Amino acid sequence: MTIGLPQYLVVSGVLLALGLFAIVTRKNAVAILMGVELVLNAGLLNLVAFSRFGGGLDGQVFALFGIVLAAAEAVVALAIVLQVFRARRSVDASKACELKE
């Protein structure tokens, strides 16, 4: 079968769903970040697919920038996770509840 645009969209949709599932259900901060990466990559995949099967090169340019973006975000996020870990010896996001109503 030919791999056309719909196939790519389905894959990115699955990635999005998996990523969202991870973000919403996981308690470990690093796991949540992995979910975020999945979501980001779903978007990037979309961009490349749309660029390949339709529009110009804009999508691929966007995807390249997006990769760098995801990397930068991961750096900052993991640095903060490290800071939290140093303070509390745990990366359990559900345990971070000092700031309550």
Partner 1 sequence: MLTNLLAIGPELVLTLTVVLVLIADLVIGDRPARRGSLAVLSFAGLAAAAATFFLLPDGGPAAFGGLVSGDGLGVFFRGLFLVAAFFGVAFGALSDEIPVERFGEYAAMLLATTLGMSFLVQSQNLLMILLSLELVSLPSYVLAGFRRGDSRSSEAALKYVLYGAAASGLMLYGFSLLYGMAGTLDLSAIGPALNAKAAGGSVGIRAGIALAALLSLAGFGYKVAAVPFHQWCPDVYEGAPTPVTAFLSVGPKAAGVAALIRFVVIGFGASVATPPAGGLPWPVLLGVLAMATMTLGNLAAIPQDNVKRLLAYSSIAHAGYLLMGIAVGTPDAVQAVAVYLPIYLLMNLGAFLAVMAVRAKTGSETIADYRGLVARSPALSIALAIFLFSLTGLPPLAGFIGKFYLFAAVVKAGTPFFYVLAIVGVLNSVVSLFYYARLVKAMFLEASPDGAPAVLVPVPVGLLLAILAIPTLVLGLWWSPLADLAARAAGIVG
The size of the interface with partner 1 (CB under 8 A), counted in residues, is 44
- Chosen residue from 10, 67, 71, 80 binding partner 1 by CB under 8 A: 80
For 3, the token pair is: 């791999």
Rounded to whole angstroms, the Cα distance separating 87 from 100 reads 18
Q: What angle do CA 92, 98, 100 make, to 5 degrees?
A: 115
Q: Three-class SS of residue 28? A: strand
Binding site for partner 1 (CB under 8 A): 12, 16, 19, 23, 29, 32-33, 35-36, 39-40, 42-44, 46-47, 49-50, 54-56, 58-59, 61-62, 65-66, 69, 72-73, 76-77, 79-81, 83-84, 87-88, 93, 96, 98-99, 101
